[in-house]
Amino acid sequence: MEHDPNIFRDSSQVIQEVEDQLERILQKKFRDVDSDLVDRINREKEAARKRKEEIEREFDKEKTALTEYRTMVHDFEEQRAGLLNEARDRFQKVLSFQAEIESLAKATVEEIKRVNEIQGRLEALRTQTSERAAFLKNDLRERFGIVAEVMEDEPKPLGLDLDEELEKLRKIKELLAIESAAASLGRLGGQPVAQEDLAVMDAAADKAGLDIPAIPDLIAGPAADQPEAPAEVAPEPAPVLLEAIPEDDVVACLESYRRTEPANGCGEIHYFQKDKAVIVDPEKLLDAVERTLEEGQRLSAKLGLTESPKDQFFIKQELINWQEGLRALFLRVVKMCEKSSWRLPRYAEEILNTQVLRRLLERLSMENWSNLEEFAGFSAEIAQIRRAFQARIEPRLAYLLSLKQEIEED
């Protein structure tokens, strides 16, 4: 059998063509892989670029928010400094006015004493004149038989109601005492001023040498060495003292004005309302804060005795829940005071007001009670406010009467 040599040559060409095709296919696949790799790299680069831009935008927002917060804090500090300066100036005016009133009160006492002495001398002169006239009448009748007509009564000096004037002076003294006690409770320079009660006016009067005696003592003083005051001057009825007003009646009246409403599901807000006047009850508000802090103290003590990380987590979460409840309560009160007709009593507004509540609200929003140091700091500030408030509303009857008047005046 013969073999054709062209068959091998043709087969070689076919194989070569197949190899060339395979090579081309291989190169194409390499190019496709490289192209896919390049596309994927480009897509990753584009995604990375977009992500960077998004991060930059978020960072710019944070920077803007931080700048706004810094501006807000700066404005707050400026306003606070301005209000403190105004408070200092007005307090200095109060002190100067008080000094003037004390001086005038002292001069009034001295002048009243002089008037009392003059009335005594006039009465003595009238008695001597009457006796002398009677003696002359008898002398003329006995010696000359002349019956002289003598004035039955001479004009009396202008009557002054000393009781009334001294009562006015006593009321001025009481007003000074109340105003002085209220002014002494204000904050100057960010530091609390020492608390004074209604006796601060008496102490100031003693220091200045001002001795305002009681009405019976002042009247009885010159009368011991002088004739009796004219019978026409009758004492007025004694004024009604503050202690004579039943405190229970005032409390019952205030309770008739009491209202409550839920504070975002976290406790209740107690307030007094009559017509349009809405006044938050600060005592109930402080009581709610006190109950929350007592629970926080219990959880803090429990946290210090717990070693299990799991139990510590749940205790801390419960602490934060109590903190959030108190924050919701303050937030509700602050919003209603700023946007509605609500307000806190004027009697103690230098101690507990909307600014104080907002400062406490900011602490509750920024601090974390699971940090025991921050919880202790907040508790200390509340304790200081509560002590100042309790000192301010003593005597309690004066506070209740002021609250009742503020509710009813609108």
Report the run of H or E that residue 277 belongs to, with start and end: strand 277-280
* pLDDT value of residue 3: 55
User: What is d(CA 122, CA 116) in angstroms, rounded to the nearest whole number?
Assistant: 10
User: Would you state the pLDDT for residue 384?
Assistant: 94
Residue 77: per-residue pLDDT: 86
User: Is 242 within 8 Å of 397 (Cβ atoms)?
Assistant: yes
Pairing of strands 258-262, 191-192: unpaired
- For the entire predicted model, the pTM comes to 0.42
The 3-state DSSP class for residue 67 equals helix
Q: Which one-letter DSSP state was computed for residue 224? A: T
The DSSP code sequence of 186-239 is SEETTEEPPP--TTHHHHHHHHTT-----HHHHHHHHHTTSPPPPTT-PPPPPP
- pLDDT per position as a tens digit, 10-55: 677 888 888 888 888 989 888 889 888 898 999 999 999 998 888 8
Query: Encoding tokens for residue 268?
Result: 């209740």
pLDDT of residue 216: 43
Do residues 176 and 201 lie in contact, with contact meaning Cβ atoms separated by under 8 Å? yes
pLDDT tens sequence across 131-147:
777 777 676 676 666 66
Instruction: Read off the amino acid at residue 232.
Output: E
Say what the pLDDT of residue 147 is: 62
Segments of the chain scoring below 50 in pLDDT:
152-154, 156-159, 183-242
End-to-end Cα distance, the chain: 134
